[in-house]
Amino acid sequence: GLICITAGMTCVMLTGGIDISVGSLVAMDCMILAVGIEQWGWSSPALMILILAIGIVFGIVQGFCISYLEIQPFIVTMAGMFFARGMTAVICKEQVSIVSDKIFTTLSSFKISLPFGGYMNKKGVMQYPYLRVTVVVALIVVLAIYLMLKYTRFGRSIYAVGGNQQSATLMGLDVKKTQMKAYILSSFLTSIGGICYCLNTMAGTTTQATGLEMDAISSVIGGTLLTGGVGNVLGSLFGVLINGTISTLVKTNGKLISSWSNIVTAILLCFFIVLQSVFALIKERKNK
């Protein structure tokens, strides 16, 4: 789920913007899925389509406020964050577990076995590595965004807008339209990430995905400049993997408390920001 969200965040940050509403949108998506299946009696495919539609509408509203009304991205997405988190509690205040939908539970437990890298366990049974549906979806999203940024007109427009808005306008690009599309894409991919997140947790709660936006931003900063215009989605993918590795190492080490993963992430975040500032200064001096 985080990889899908990070891919969308990369597009937004390449335009020089930011989106801190993603964690709350994921929580709302999970709650809609859980309550929709268990209490409203909807089918999971219908709910997934609804969630993707909500993501698009969410992106249109935020994108319009940021690009056409020229309100600061941080303010708009913070309002979006509070709205989505509040709506999650309005839908249901209790934790709702998904157990009754066969399609959703099958997708959650489905594994794609790989024919290589197997090993013999202690009981003498051959174990092969496998991929879950969520991992396959995340990889498809990363590949699609990578190709979009590299080979399409919209992808080049995102880089141009993030690099210099005035130059992009002089080149004949519609800066506002590009910014709006980037936020729509971000919210749409966040909704895909929300479905993947729910497939992993099989539940909806009001506190779900708290701080997920910070994980996404810290992952993106590893491969994308904060000012926009420079970066790619592969750098963001590695950022997610580094974050995941740190978190796993901390959790598997019995001597360290879970808070250490947040501390290490904060140190890495500061390191990347300082590194970006150093590169920006070097670039400035070269231009002079």
What is the reported pLDDT for 258? 64
For the packed helices 73-91 and 22-38, what is the interaxial angle rounded to 10 degrees? 20
**Which residues on adjacent β-strands are paired with residue 45?**
none
pLDDT above 70 covers what percent of the chain? Answer: 94
Q: What distance in Å separates the CA atoms of residue 179 and residue 161, rounded to the nearest whole number? A: 8
Lowest mean pLDDT among 77-81, 119-123, 138-142, 159-163: 119-123
Rg (CA), the chain: 20
The residue with tokens 């406020």 is: 65
What is the reported pLDDT for 234? 82
**Which residues on adjacent β-strands are paired with residue 231?**
224
pLDDT above 90 covers what percent of the chain? Answer: 32
Question: For the residues 28-36, what does the mean pLDDT come to?
Answer: 92
What is the reported pLDDT for 188? 94
What sections of the chain are H helices per DSSP?
2-14, 22-38, 44-67, 73-91, 102-109, 133-151, 153-163, 165-170, 175-201, 212-221, 233-252, 259-287
Band the pLDDT of 24: cuts 50, 70, 90: very high
What is the reported pLDDT for 248? 74
What is the reported pLDDT for 243? 76
pTM, two decimals, is: 0.86
Q: Residue 243: exposed, middle, or buried by beta-carbon count in 10 A (0-12, 13-18, 19+)? A: buried
What is the reported pLDDT for 255? 66
Q: SS3 letters for 227-278? A: CCCCECHHHHHHHHHHHHHHHHHHHHCCCCCCHHHHHHHHHHHHHHHHHHHH
How crowded is residue 101: how many other Cβ atoms within 10 Å of its Cβ?
22
Q: What distance in Å separates the CA atoms of residue 203 and residue 198, rounded to the nearest whole number? A: 6
What is the reported pLDDT for 56? 94
Q: What is the pLDDT of residues 226-272, one digit of tens each?
A: 777 777 888 888 888 877 777 777 767 666 666 777 777 777 778 77
